[in-house]
Amino acid sequence: MTTFDPLDMQQYRIERLPHREKPRFEKWLAMSGPFLAIIAFVLFAYIIKLPFLHSLQSTDIVTATAKEAFNKVGMEQFIRNNEYMLAIFLASIILWVTQAIPNYLTSLMLIITLVLTGVLSEKTAYAQLGHPVMWLNIMSFVLASMLVVTGLAKRFALWLILKFGKNASTVFISFIVINMFLSAFVSATTAKAAILLPIFMVIAAIYGAQGGKKRNNFGRSIVLQNLFYINVGAGAFVTGSGANLLGAAIIGGAISGSVFFADWMMAMFPFMLTMMFIGYLVAMKIYFPLAPEERLPQIAGGMDRLREEYQKLGPITTLEKKSSVIFITILGFWATDSLHGISPTAVAFIGAIVAMLPRYGIVQWNEIDVPWHLMLFSAGAYALGAGLDATDLPAISVNAFFNHLGIGTTTPFWVLYLTLTAIMIFSALIFESKTMRAMIFIPIAIGVAKRFGFEIISLALPVAFMIEHVYVLPFNSKPAALLYETDHYSLSDTFKFGITMMVIAWMLSIVAGETWFRYLGITPNGVFGLF
């Protein structure tokens, strides 16, 4: 019988994490999910008739996109499509939130339901698996695998920890730097979590935290801070996640232009770096302050084990040097996309091809870890977005909502800004998919901007900047679900830290809208009146 070695990084590979026993409430949600989903679908598809949909011809809530759609299929079919779309949307949300069935299976059911109800054609629905952002994700996993296979990611992380992690406080600061570095290169937060998990788990063990009954504030803090950094760091770059790229693409289509890598980074890098340091202070000073004994290594020779791991890597290899060149080149092309016009997906595509070249490349296909279940899950989210786009349900609903409240077109900008950014960031408490939130709320922000006569960028881009705040509850994102399995913190731990940071992020976005975003020309001058 082998003895568990808390300092062995191989013990913390994703596939070796223990499966957490679901608490009673989560079990109840999972059991009730299918029934609730079926009820919601039947009610909104066949029984409940929403007045604003059945009076489309006699109201001014119809958008230009909707007019084009019902001119093709007829008003009656267009209304039916909207009813089906709403029913599919609600049923999918219920299944995703309750985790009644695997998320990828929900996505597959969603796709075929969109086809069978006629909301989308087979060609459109199935084509979402070939969405450019899907390809970016696949290529990013190729590049992330290159980092892992060559040992470059591990070398960099260990070097930084050994160089600057002289005590408990500087260990946490080191992970801020590591996450910002990886966020610039890896367009998948799950891949970043997989790279960093073994390292911060070993460090947690060194400081006496091994999860379960051996939890302590060091373990709570290092895992929750890394969860926060992994997600928030992705928000600093348009290539930080597929959802960011999708949001930029939606906005680019609406303005007949592009949201470039440099534009996004200029706006969000200072914002996200500030958020990371605030997160560090909130965790260390308020929620998880370290007792004196937790600031000292509890396992003798712990840091020496990390040093041994680093020394085992030996001198930097030719493959690592090649990996460095590829990544620096990719980052250079991403940062200068406004000059050459090559999309981030195309750049990642070329980088992945070079990495896999026979004889001259770095990795082989069987060494690449692409989580296809996540790809299928994302394809379902894109199909849902395509259905919402085809029916234009978000814009129609927005117009109907404002008309119902009797709100004209004179609402102050700051009211719209605060409302839309709040809806986007706090929707992460309910929605599991960043992609889905981008598809739903960014088009709404575009529709609101058009309705009230403001520049699309002024509302849609700040809303898009809120995509990555998915760290409060375990079902809010894949990294959140993954790190919850480490059993280093409770549901209340992640909620109190996460909701605090979410509120701070929203407040900071308001300050940025009045200052930094105004300076960059994102928000208009003289419309906030807040300061």
For residues 237 and 234, what is the distance between their CA atoms, to the nearest angstrom?
A: 6
**Proportion of the chain above pLDDT 90, given as a percent:** 27
Place of tokens 């529709």: 447
DSSP 317: P
Helix intervals (H) in 55-121: 64-73, 75-98, 103-116
Choose the weakest-confidence range: 123-132, 413-422, 457-466: 123-132
How many structural domains is the chain composed of? 1
Residue 172: which domain range? 9-17+132-367
Assign residue 216 a region (left: φ > 0; alpha: ψ between -120 and 50; beta: otherwise).
Answer: beta
Structure tokens at 146: 């290159």
For residues 183 and 177, what is the distance between their CA atoms, to the nearest angstrom?
A: 10
For residues 241 and 229, what is the distance between their CA atoms, to the nearest angstrom?
A: 13
Whether the Cβ atoms of residue 269 and residue 465 lie closer than 8 Å to each other: no
Whether the Cβ atoms of residue 56 and residue 62 lie closer than 8 Å to each other: yes
Whether the Cβ atoms of residue 17 and residue 485 lie closer than 8 Å to each other: yes
In a domain, 96, yes or no: no
For residues 270 and 264, what is the distance between their CA atoms, to the nearest angstrom?
A: 11
- Phi and psi, residue 338, nearest 5°: -70, -20
Task: Tell me the per-residue pLDDT of 353-370, one tens digit each, with 9 for 90 and over.
Answer: 999 998 888 888 888 777
For residues 440 and 54, what is the distance between their CA atoms, to the nearest angstrom?
A: 22
In a domain, 149, yes or no: yes
Task: Tell me the per-residue pLDDT of 138-164, one tens digit each, with 9 for 90 and over.
Answer: 887 788 778 778 888 778 777 887 887
Assign residue 74 a region (left: φ > 0; alpha: ψ between -120 and 50; beta: otherwise).
Answer: left
For residues 272 and 138, what is the distance between their CA atoms, to the nearest angstrom?
A: 25
In a domain, 152, yes or no: yes
In a domain, 278, yes or no: yes
In a domain, 256, yes or no: yes
In a domain, 205, yes or no: yes
The pLDDT of residue 531 is: 39
- Cα 133 from chain centroid? 13
Output the DSSP codes for 176-226.
Answer: HHHHHHHHHH---HHHHHHHHHHHHHHHHHHTT--BTTB--HHHHHHHHHH
The whole-number average pLDDT for the span 314-318 is 88
Structure tokens at 176: 């801020």
For residues 21 and 324, what is the distance between their CA atoms, to the nearest angstrom?
A: 41
Which residues are registered as beta bridge partners of 211? 214
Mean residue pLDDT across the chain: 82
For residues 404 and 406, what is the distance between their CA atoms, to the nearest angstrom?
A: 5
Choose the weakest-confidence range: 64-78, 139-153, 380-394: 64-78
Confidence (pTM): 0.76
Task: Tell me the per-residue pLDDT of 319-351, one tens digit each, with 9 for 90 and over.
Answer: 889 988 988 898 888 878 778 888 888 888 999
| Residue 43 predicted with pLDDT over 60 | yes
Task: Tell me the per-residue pLDDT of 424-436, one tens digit each, with 9 for 90 and over.
Answer: 999 988 776 787 7
The whole-number average pLDDT for the span 448-468 is 91
In a domain, 121, yes or no: no
For residues 349 and 370, what is the distance between their CA atoms, to the nearest angstrom?
A: 15
| Residue 302 predicted with pLDDT over 80 | no
| Residue 267 predicted with pLDDT over 90 | yes
The whole-number average pLDDT for the span 391-400 is 77
In a domain, 113, yes or no: no
Whether the Cβ atoms of residue 381 and residue 436 lie closer than 8 Å to each other: yes
